[in-house]
Amino acid sequence: MPAAAARYGDPLATLGVLNDVLRLQLERRSVRKFTSRDVTDDELTALIAAAQSAATSSNLQPWSVVAVRDPARKARLAALAGNQAFVAQAPLFLIWVADLGRAHRLAQRAGTQVEAADYLETTIIGFVDTALAAQNAVVAAESLGLGSVFVGAVRNHPEEIATELGLPPRTVATFGLAVGTPDPTEEADVKPRLPQAAVLHHEQFDAAAADAHIEAYDKRLSAYNERFGLRGAWSDRVLTRLAGPASMAGRHRLREILERLGLPSR
C-alpha cells in the first residue's frame, strides 16, 4: 500500500510530493519486538547527533539522555514503566531527561541565580525541547534500519526512575525510547492517523468541520485494531485514557513530584 494510504488507512489518500525522508516518516511505526542485534556505539552516537540537531528554545538545550544497556537495569526500569516486557528486551533503552539542573549548576559556578528556571514556562520548554530532540533521534534510527517506541510510562514513577539513574536535582525523566532492530515476526503495521481535515485548519480554527471526520476515522481504526485482535475505536480510547485520575497510572501526582525533584513550575 502506498505510504500515504497506509498512514491514513485510506486507499485514496495521496501526496502530491514524496521523497525518501517523507516516505521514511510516513512508514514509521512503533516497534515493540526486537532482534538480538545490539545497537552499536556508532549508531548511538549518530542518534544523539541527530537529536542535538533539533530546534531548541533560545539555545538553552535543556535536556540530557541516559543510554541503558545493562539487562538488570533495563528489567528494573521495565517494572517501573508499567511492566512492559519490550523495555527489557530492547537492546537499548534511552531515557530522555528534561534537564534544568545544568542551568542551575551554571548559575552556581557564576555566583548568580536563574530564578526564571523555576516557572512553568521553563519547565514546558524543557519538556518540549526534549521531545523535539527525541523525535529527531527516532527519524535517524529509522534511516539506519532501527525501530523504536516511546515509553511515557517512565512518568508513572519518576522519583524511583531518578534514583535508578542517579539523576541530579532539577531534572526529570520525561519518557523512554526503546531502540533496536525490528523483529520481522512482530504482528504490527502502520497505524492510521486522523485525516488531515480533522487536524489542519486554514486561517481560523473550525472545530465543527474538523470533528465531522472523526466518525469515519473511528471506523478505520477499528478495522485496523481488529486485524491484530484488538477492540475499540479511537474515540473509545481517548475517553478511556482521559476518564480521570484513576486512568493516569499515578501521573496525576506529577505536579507535586516535579516540585520534590526541584522543578516547582510556578
First to last CA, the chain: 49
The whole-number pLDDT of residue 154 equals 97
The whole-number pLDDT of residue 236 equals 94
Domains of the chain: 1-28 (no CATH), 31-182+250-266 (3.40.109.10), 191-232 (no CATH)
**Whole-number Å distance between alpha carbons of 65 and 126:** 13
Cell digits for 250?
499515578
User: 25: which strand partners?
Assistant: none
The model scores a pTM over 0.85: yes
The answer to whether 47 touches 140, Cβ cutoff 8 Å, is yes
Q: How far is CA 58 from the centre of its chain?
A: 22
The answer to whether 161 touches 130, Cβ cutoff 8 Å, is no
**Whole-number Å distance between alpha carbons of 128 and 149:** 18
**Whole-number Å distance between alpha carbons of 152 and 185:** 25
pLDDT tens digits in sequence order for the chain, 266 residues long: 799 999 999 998 999 999 999 999 999 999 999 999 999 999 999 999 999 999 999 999 999 999 999 999 999 999 999 999 999 999 999 999 999 999 999 999 999 999 999 999 999 999 999 999 999 999 999 999 999 999 999 999 999 999 999 999 999 999 999 999 999 999 999 999 999 999 999 999 999 999 999 999 999 999 999 999 888 899 999 999 999 999 999 999 999 999 999 999 88
The whole-number pLDDT of residue 223 equals 93
